[in-house]
Homo-oligomer: A and B are copies of this chain.
């Protein structure tokens, strides 16, 4: 059977593991400190949004003084952008390698698609990014453009490859590839947005494994049905 987590294996983020063991501990901190700040900032930004986030709160969670933030980031906005970029990098580096080598059924591929997307998003720092970008899209157009180009378009292309895989094997029957890919990509995206906005609320709590299975099954049925071809027959 397939490894559900196989897709993003190269995601060893930032590679500080091979950092130079210099004699001065504060020099090692210099490299780690920004990472701690970014991690804390990501949490607070996702929780509260850009404007509601206080730099002092980020500092508190990062275990530093407010002034320290400004040693590494020019201002709050620069911190925000750095947070987004840093958190997105796992997604950016997500390769198509898995698809290149995939030889299973289209149905299983849909399972892979949904589960891997979820695992990628939730297991990495990027978990809260979709919600954050959604919330701040109008306030940070360039950042949103970057997100669209790098994440959404990228995700849509992966979906398109998956669809093409099924079409090539005569299992998927799709009239409008572009819109269909968009629909599926958006439903994946939606999951992560929801997860960070509503999953704290009882009525919205989702049993993720079940949800993912059901979604994959539903997508499979929608894609493999030939009904769309001759509705009036």
Contacts from A to B (Cβ < 8 Å) = 47-52, 107, 131, 133-139, 141, 144-145, 148-149, 152-153, 175-176, 179-180, 182-183, 186-187, 189-191, 193-194, 197-198, 200-201, 203-204, 206-207, 210-211, 214-215, 217-225, 227-228, 231
Contact = CB atoms under 8 A, between A and B. Distances in A.
A201 B207 CA distance: 33
A113 to B, nearest CB: 15
Nearest to A201: B148
B214 A183 contact: yes
28 contacts: A49-B49, A49-B51, A49-B136, A50-B51, A50-B52, A51-B52, A52-B139, A134-B135, A134-B193, A135-B197, A137-B200, A137-B201, A138-B197, A138-B200, A141-B200, A141-B201, A145-B201, A152-B198, A175-B217, A179-B214, A183-B211, A183-B214, A183-B215, A221-B221, A221-B222, A221-B223, A221-B227, A224-B227
Contacts of A138: 47-48, 197, 200
Contacts of A197: 133-135, 137-138, 144
Nearest to A184: B218
A183 B187 contact: yes
A218 B183 contact: yes
A contact patch SS? helix
Given A134-B197, A217-B228, A179 B144 contact: no
A175 to B, nearest CB: 7
A73 to B, nearest CB: 18
Contact of A179 (B189, B203, B210): B210
Contacts of A228: 217-218, 221
Given A48-B139, A148-B203, A204-B152, A176 B210 contact: yes
A217 B138 CA distance: 32
Contact of A51 (B51, B137, B201, B218): B51
Contacts of A198: 134, 137, 144, 148, 152
B139 A49 contact: yes
B49 A135 contact: yes
A206 B182 CA distance: 9
